[in-house]
Every structure is written in structure tokens, then in C-alpha cells.
Amino acid sequence: MTDRFDAIVVGAGPAGCAAAYSLAKSGLQVMLVERGRTPGEKNVSGGILFGQALHDLIPNFWEQAPLERRITSRCLTFLSGKSSVTVDHTRTTSKTAPHDGFSVNRYKFDQWFAKQAEEAGAMLAPGIRVDGLLWKDNKIAGVCAGGDEVFSDVVIAADGVNSLLAKEAKLRKDHNPHEMGLGIKEVINLPREVIEERFNLSGEEGAAYSFIGCTKGFPGGGFLYTNLDSLSLGVVVHLSAFSKAAVKAPDLIEHFKSYPSVSRFLRDGDLLEYSAHLVPEGGYGAVTKLYTDGLLVTGDAAGLTLNVGYALEGMNFAIASGVAAAQTVERAKVIGDFSKHSLKRYEQILKDSFVLKDLKTFQHAPAFLGSPRLHNTYPALVNNLVTALFSSRGVPRPKLLTLLIKMVLGEASIPGLLIDAVKLVRGL
Ligand SMILES: Cc1cc2nc3c(=O)[nH]c(=O)nc-3n(C[C@H](O)[C@H](O)[C@H](O)COP(=O)(O)OP(=O)(O)OC[C@H]3O[C@@H](n4cnc5c(N)ncnc54)[C@H](O)[C@@H]3O)c2cc1C
């Protein structure tokens, strides 16, 4: 085994696999180190993969990747007590559109992606935990892993939300609970035909539901995604909720599952998996420093995740940032300069792409999503309004606008509404 590489990529999630694949394709000597015995072993995602970035890297990847379902139905549900209101957007088309997304099982998907990197020429080293950066003369010279020193011109940190490497290089601080979410996820086993009947799907069609109003009033939301023969469901809740209140992760997911509009999909299903994972959701303001001499930080390690309430995107941001890091390293190799002056190009590539553009556009989304009324008052309001619209009680009814004003003023204060309206316009 050679102990010197052009690049060492730490972490075989979407960011690391994308970086290693791109570098290997360009003929660089690259090692992809993963602490799991197999890539994806412990990785957690909802997970809808928006596939455009991967399609740009591996055209028509859906013809070979182990995907679950093509998302053809997107639903947003407002929950309140035993009532729910769903906005359902369904597109029946036989054409695959990578941007509509696919449900994925990370255990299978990450293994496949790491194998693509390996087949392209990267050296995959699973079951090895990187303990830290290797420093020589105050410069990053590789990594330390399992008592060994492995040298490289550059290290790409793709080690996820708790990135040890970004912290050691002082590119990120300790996590701020106001910029983090805790995702709690279950996978429920159900026969394929039951899923297709319950969600009105056929073939590889898939449904993805996002829920608002299911987190006991804490900032957060729920999700329910169809896989081939299982369902992925869970909640992502602002981490600050756990420090302020005596709320526990298992209670939150049980509460979510107790809503009739959720439980009807889960009936007779068996629990296959339970997991919990942090989600960096501080947005643009919480993105870490992205590079220093000999080091680039990608994906969740850099805080490159977008949460806009109705959708959570991290895997596509991770892939695009991994590719951008690889492009930067390829050029650095050509000019023989791995200093921060050369590696700053990485930030520019991200600024020119959807990654930092979208995070900047939605930089105020976290402030809007943090409003407690969004998770309590407004879902109740939407449900009460729709209930009133579709009932005839044998008494005179006001017109729609009068009803709306009466209900809104009954549930929320004018200053609160104004604050949220401003946050909504600024945030989304
Ligand atoms: C509940 C939940 C739901 C989500 N839903 C979605 C969704 O629907 N769509 C979406 O796009 N995103 C979603 N996300 C976000 C998405 O999962 C992440 O943004 C994405 O996985 C980030 O990829 P990454 O490669 O940067 O990091 P990760 O996927 O976390 O990969 C990091 C890798 O590094 C390895 N590693 C860490 N430390 C070391 C070390 N010291 N040595 C060696 N290896 C190491 C880990 O084992 C892991 O394989 C969700 C997240 C959660 C928690």
C-alpha cells in the first residue's frame, strides 16, 4: 500500500464519494477512508435524493444505482389534532426527471457510490476511523488513522456534521443548538403491494410527504417517504427544543405516528430500523470556513444543508460540494500549489453554483421556521378554516374573507402575524 496520495478524502457519504470519484476519474491518486465497516452502514437520511448533481457527475445514474422509488407525488400536510389538510402535487410521467428526486436507502446507495469511486481508481479504506490531521512543520500533511500516518498533498473533509477535521483545523466552532436539528427516523417494513395501494402508486412511482404541526409546537417538521417495500418516516426538530423542555426524542416520533393521517399509512407495519442524527440547519450564516492550507471541507462537515420547511436538501449539496472540491484539487495539482491561496477557488465554485446561491437566497429561512406559531397556531388555523368551508350547520355563514379574518384574529395577534409575514417574505 502506498502511504502517499495526491488527496485523502475522509468519509464515504455522498460528499466524500463524489470527491473521490471525480479525483480518481481525473487520474489522481486518492484514498477514500470510511470509519464504517461498509460505506453507509450508519448513515442517516430521510432520504430523498434530488439527483441533478449526481446526474451531472454520472449521467443517467438511475439506470445502475440502487434507488427505491422515483418521486412522482409530493404532499405537504398541515396537522392539527385529528384533522389534516394536504396539498398534493402528483405528476404521472414515465420519463425520469432527476430533479424530482428518488427515495434512497443510504446503506445500499452509499455502498454503490463508494464502489463507483473505487472502480474509477480510488483506494477505498473502509473500517478505518481517521483520528485527526497529520501535521508536519505546522502544515497539514495527511491524516492519522489507526496509529498510522498517511501523507497527501491535500485532505478533503467529508466527515459529516460532527467534522473532527474541520474543528481541528479551526474552521468550525462548537455546534450552536440554534443552528442544529435532531432528526429521528424509523423505517417500517410493509409489503410492496400494500404501499402501492395505500399511496396510490404503481411500478417505481413514489410519494413523499412533509408534515407541519406534528412536533408538539417545537420548531421542526415530519416526513414520510415511500421506499420499494418499506416506509421511511421521522421528525427533524430544532436541537434547542431538547435543552429547553423535558422532551425526549422517542416521545416526539411516537407523537408524530399517533396522528390519524400518519398512522393509517403505517398500519400492520414492522419496525426495521431506528436512528437519530444531527442536521446542520443554520443555513448560510452557519456555513463554516471552507478551506485552509491543505484542507477543504465539504457537505454536512461545512454546514451545506438547506432546510426550507417543506423540503430538506443535503445529499445533493454534499455531492455538488464534493465535485467542487475535486475540481479545485485537480487545478491545484496542475499548478503544484495546495496553499489556501490556491484552494480558495473552491469557495468561488460553490458561490457560482446552486450550493451557496440557494443557501444565500434562503438565508433567512431559519428565522421563519423558528417561529413557534408556524408549528402550532397556523396548522390549526388551516384545519379550522377548511373544516368551516366544507360544513353547513344550518345557520347563516359569513363570506370567505370575513370568515378568514375572524379566524385569523381569533387564533393569532396582529403583531405576531405581522412579524411572521415579514419573516415569511424574507425567509422563503
Ligand atoms: C433525519 C434526516 C433526514 C434527512 N433527509 C434528507 C433528505 O430527504 N434529502 C437530502 O438531500 N438530505 C437529507 N438529510 C441530510 C443528508 O442526510 C445530509 O446532508 C448528507 O448525508 C450529507 O452528506 P455528507 O457526505 O456530507 O455526510 P454524511 O452522509 O454524514 O457522511 C459522512 C461520512 O463520514 C464518515 N466519517 C465521519 N467521521 C469519520 C472519521 N473520523 N473517519 C472516517 N470516516 C468518518 C461517516 O461514517 C459517514 O460515512 C437528512 C438528514 C437527516 C438526519
Confidence of residue 214 (pLDDT cuts 50, 70, 90): very high
Over 70: is that where the pLDDT of 241 sits? yes
Take atom 18 of ligand 1 and give the residue whose Cα is closest.
314
17-70: pLDDT as tens digits: 999 999 999 999 999 999 999 999 888 888 899 999 999 999 999 999 999 999
Average pLDDT, the chain: 94
What average pLDDT does this structure show over 8-24? Answer: 98
Q: Which residue has the higher pLDDT, 96 or 2?
A: 96
In Å, how far are 104, 211, 364, 368, 415 from 425, measured between CA atoms? Answer: 32, 21, 9, 9, 16
What residue ranges in 91-242 does DSSP mark as E strands?
102-104, 123-126, 130-136, 139-145, 148-157, 180-189, 205-212, 220-226, 230-238
344-380: pLDDT as tens digits: 999 999 999 999 999 999 999 998 898 888 998 999 9
What SS3 state is found at 69? strand
101 lines ligand 1 (CB under 6 A): no
**Which domains are delineated in the chain?**
4-66+105-172+288-352 (3.50.50.60), 178-280 (3.30.9.90), 367-427 (no CATH)
Distance of CA 380 to the CA centre of its chain: 27
Q: How far is the CA of 43 from the centre of ligand 1 (A)?
A: 6
**Which residue reads 497539514 in cell numbers?**
140
pLDDT at 1: 47
Q: How far is the CA of 258 from the centre of ligand 1 (A)?
A: 28
CA–CA separation, 428 vs 95, rounded Å?
A: 29
Take atom 14 of ligand 1 and give the residue whose Cα is closest.
45
Q: Which residue has the higher pLDDT, 381 or 97?
A: 381
pLDDT at 244: 67
142 lines ligand 1 (CB under 6 A): no
Q: Which residue has the higher pLDDT, 408 or 286?
A: 286
314 lines ligand 1 (CB under 6 A): yes
Over 60: is that where the pLDDT of 2 sits? no
Q: Which atom of ligand 1 is nearest to the CA of 11?
A: 34
Confidence of residue 397 (pLDDT cuts 50, 70, 90): confident
* CA-closest candidate to residue 279, choices 369, 195, 197: 369
Exposed (0-12), middle (13-18) or buried (19+): which is 8, by Cβ within 10 Å? buried
Over 90: is that where the pLDDT of 146 sits? no
Q: Which atom of ligand 1 is nearest to the CA of 42?
A: 47
305 lines ligand 1 (CB under 6 A): yes
259-300: pLDDT as tens digits: 999 999 999 999 999 999 999 999 999 999 999 999 999 999
CA–CA separation, 377 vs 36, rounded Å?
A: 43
Over 50: is that where the pLDDT of 392 sits? yes
Q: How far is the CA of 160 from the centre of ligand 1 (A)?
A: 5
Least reliable range by pLDDT among 47-56, 67-76, 242-251, 315-324? 242-251
* CA-closest candidate to residue 20, choices 123, 165, 108: 123
160 lines ligand 1 (CB under 6 A): yes
Take atom 34 of ligand 1 and give the residue whose Cα is closest.
11
What average pLDDT does this structure show over 167-182? Answer: 92
Q: What is the pTM of this model?
A: 0.96
158 lines ligand 1 (CB under 6 A): yes
pLDDT at 287: 97
Over 80: is that where the pLDDT of 243 sits? no
Q: How far is the CA of 182 from the centre of ligand 1 (A)?
A: 13
